[in-house]
A and B are shown apart, each in its own frame.
Chain A
Amino acid sequence: DIQMTQSPSAMSASVGDRVTITCRASQGISNYLAWFQQRPGKVPKRLIYTASNLQSGVPSRFSGSGSGTEFTLTISSLQPEDFVTYYCLQHSSYPYSFGQGTKLEIK
């Protein structure tokens, strides 16, 4: 099974900061990776698909990159509504698997 390791598991940042979240796959997954945002008590929302494609309607401050085993989600300038939890998902090999999540907190 493929393990997805997300880092960091939590981080503090300020409004306007640029932040990067990383997902590492235990084996190569090509670009079969998606990123999700989840607000407390809400349904997750897909931000990025196939590693680097921005979901329609998602602000352009979000971007994704990577291929193979290392992937990043970058938020170029944090806004107050961005301080929530993020997950990656590999959909290359069964069973599919999510990362454990990254919680962004306001510094």
Chain B
Amino acid sequence: EVQLVESGGGLVQPGGSLRLSCEASGFTFSSHWMTWVRQAPGKGLEWVANIKEDGSEKYYLDSVKGRFTISRDNAKNSLYLLMSSLRVEDTAVYYCARERSVAYWGQGTQVTVSS
């Protein structure tokens, strides 16, 4: 069974940093693109970033480019999202997902950016 478990969310002040982690199990992690998707309170889904199986290609939403960095450690079956220069508008539940077409989702981790 595919399992994706996010962690690392929390409350951070504007301008601060946070690193999200996603631990994968139940499939061969190194064989799949991985994706981050977010959902602000009461809003729709927003694609954030994804990364190729070997980490050689990474793509980002324009509004997070230069502030967020997606990475992975295939030896640890883990996906990461390093978020810096955080803004109030980055407040959302952040989901880790498998595939470019977002086939499987984690439960999400809440990130709140507020002073």
Query: In the complex, what's the smallest C-beta–C-beta distance from A64 to chain B, in angstroms?
Result: 12
- Encoded as 1 (CB less than 8 Å from any B CB) or 0, chain A from 83 to 98 comes to 0000101010011111
The interface on chain B, measured as residues whose beta carbon lies within 8 A of the other chain's beta carbons, has a size of 19
Stretch at the interface among B11-19, B71-79, B82-90, B97-105: B97-105
Query: What chain B residues lie within 8 Å of A89 (beta carbons)?
Result: 45, 47, 101-102
Chain B 17-50 near chain A by CB (<8 Å), digits 1 or 0: 0000000000000000000000000001111001
Contact B102 A94 (CB under 8 A): no
Q: Establish whether residues B106 and A34, one from each chain, have CB atoms under 8 Å apart when the complex forms.
A: no
Q: Which of B50, B60, B61, B102 has the most CB of A within 10 A?
A: B102
A95 to B48, CA, bound (A): 8
- Would you call B103 and A44 a contact (CB within 8 A)? no
- Are B107 and A96 in contact, with the CB atoms below 8 A? no
A97: chain B residues within 8 A (beta carbon): 47
